[in-house]
Amino acid sequence: MKVKRTEFRPPPQVDSAVVRIAPRNPPPPLNFDEWEGMLRLCFMRKNKTILSIVRLSNVNDLLEENYRRVCRMKNKDIPEDLNFTELIEKALTESGFAEKRARSMKIDEFLQLLIIFNRIGVHFHV
């Protein structure tokens, strides 16, 4: 539905349109808090590659802390010689996400990325 510029005071320089947004029914089966957490990290530096973002010390520390917390909650042993950065780099490289940038990724790719992180035990909201 189009809305003419004469419907507004003062009239804008462009015509407007009404957009209807309908939620998906049923909603996708994912944890929206975790989804939001991952997207926030990916888009904090949208022009950097995903690998560069997770290599940032504050991001790496946060993800490792979440990883350790989830392992404790699930009573899972954490290897003494765990190199967390290497674990993430390997997963991203093998899946082809290491060189991708958030600005050029599609929603399905972000969903795949979340699944890959969850598969190796990395969570974004605990």
Q: What is the pLDDT of residues 75-117, one digit of tens each?
A: 998 888 889 999 999 999 999 999 999 999 999 999 999 999 9
The answer to whether residue 94 sits within a structural domain is yes
Tell me the average pLDDT across 37-54. 93
Express each pLDDT in 9-24 by its tens digit. Answer: 898 888 888 888 988 8
SS3 5: helix
DSSP states of 16-51: EE-------SSPPSS-HHHHHHHHHHHHTTTTSBHH
> How many domains does the chain divide into?
1
The reply to whether 49 falls in a domain is yes
What domain range includes position 109?
31-119
0.85 exceeded by the pTM? no
Measure the CA–CA gap between 59 and 35, rounded to whole angstroms. 16
Give the angle 112-44-58 at the CA atoms, nearest 5°: 95
Judge whether 112 lies within some domain. yes
1 is in an annotated binding site: yes
In a domain, 10, yes or no: no
Contact 60, 67 (CB under 8 A): no
Confirm whether 21 is domain-assigned. no
Nearest to 56 by CA among 67, 65, 48: 48
| Between 70 and 4, the higher pLDDT residue | 70
> Could you tell me the pLDDT band of residue 4, with boundaries at 50, 70 and 90?
confident
Residue 14, in any domain of the structure: no
Residue 64 in any domain: the answer is yes
User: Distance between CA atoms of 71 and 82, rounded to whole angstroms?
Assistant: 13
Instruction: Identify the CATH number of the domain in which residue 45 sits.
Output: 1.10.8.480
At residue 94, φ and ψ (nearest 5 deg) are -65, -30
State percent of the chain over pLDDT 70. 99
Q: Please report whether residue 110 resides in a domain.
A: yes
Considering the chain, what percentage of its residues have pLDDT values greater than 90?
62
